[in-house]
Amino acid sequence: MHAQLRKQALQIFRAALAAADPLEAVARHLRVDGDQLIAGKRRYRLSSFRDIHVLGAGKASAAMALAVERIVARRVTGGLINVKDGHLARLGRVELNECGHPVPDQRGVDGARRIAAIARQADENDLVLCVISGGASALMPAPAAPVTLEEKQAVTKLLLASGASIHEINSVRKHISELKGGQLARLAAPATVITLLLSDVIGDDLDVIGSGPTAPDKSTFAGARGILERYGGGEQTPRQVRERIEVCEDGMLFQL
């Protein structure tokens, strides 16, 4: 009886590992058939794109980018992925930028700026293929003025220590960032944008995974302010973070 239970438990464990494997996960949802790139249920003619840029961030994003390179092959023009220190893969065309997690650092900011620049230069003849996994929110920091990296680090540490949920932490991060909450997709317009997401968020909310850099945002500045008041204790929240959120309080980043 015990041997049978152990066997079943191992089968369940191995099936879970296989389901979460980044290479396998991408291969299940992305493939090439002749001149057709098939992403989920949608098809795109590869010959209609001049350049294909692979952008993104996350602890599993290097492996996801490797899968993309294997599937799309020489059609990939290049790209940049922000990854956690040591979370690497052997890529041929896409560059990896190691940076800090869970607290963002200057290397992450520098990489985020380069990612933004690539997205901004894309046009209607280009495909921007984004790979986003858990950790992307911290790994792709782009503080929105007047917020500084040091203030973003302080807020992240404060919320991590406070017991705030990942939904709450990412809601605040989105509203002090230039790329989160759909803003990376906005920068890439009018290019075609496809995003592959590997979720570590309960409920798989697209706007919460990695703070949703290419997803419409349902949260608000007022909600972010409420979270900071709940966990930040007023004066503990850096002044310029409070100013940014209070000035923009009536708005949303990228509305549905």
Is the pLDDT reported for residue 255 higher than 60? no
Cβ(47)–Cβ(41) under 8 Å?
Answer: no
Cβ(38)–Cβ(30) under 8 Å?
Answer: yes
Q: For the whole model, what pTM was predicted?
A: 0.88
Confidence of residue 17 (pLDDT cuts 50, 70, 90): confident
pLDDT digits (tens, 9 = 90+) for 150-160: 999 999 889 98
Between these two residues, 255 and 154, which has the higher pLDDT value?
154
Within a 10 A sphere around the Cβ of 174, how many other Cβ atoms?
29
Confidence of residue 256 (pLDDT cuts 50, 70, 90): very low
Average pLDDT over residues 133-159: 92
Average pLDDT over residues 166-175: 88
Average pLDDT over residues 158-169: 89
Nearest to 197 by CA among 185, 175, 213: 213
Is the pLDDT reported for residue 212 higher than 90? yes
pLDDT number for residue 253: 53
Is the pLDDT reported for residue 58 higher than 50? yes
- Annotate 84-103 with b (16+ C-beta within 10 A) or e (fewer): beebebebebbebbbbbbee
Could you tell me which CATH class the domain 21-247 is placed in?
alpha beta
Instruction: Tell me the percentage of the chain whose pLDDT exceeds 90.
Output: 68
Cβ neighbors of 88 (< 8 A, separation 6 or more) are 62, 96, 98
Whole-number mean pLDDT of the chain?
91
DSSP 203-247: T--TTTGGG-TTS-----HHHHHHHHHHHHTGGGS-HHHHHHHHH
Calculate the CA dihedral of residues 109, 111, 113, 115 and round it to 10 degrees: -140
Give, as one character, the DSSP assignment of residue 144.
P
Confidence of residue 97 (pLDDT cuts 50, 70, 90): very high
Cα atoms in the 13 Å half-sphere on the side-chain side of 2: 0
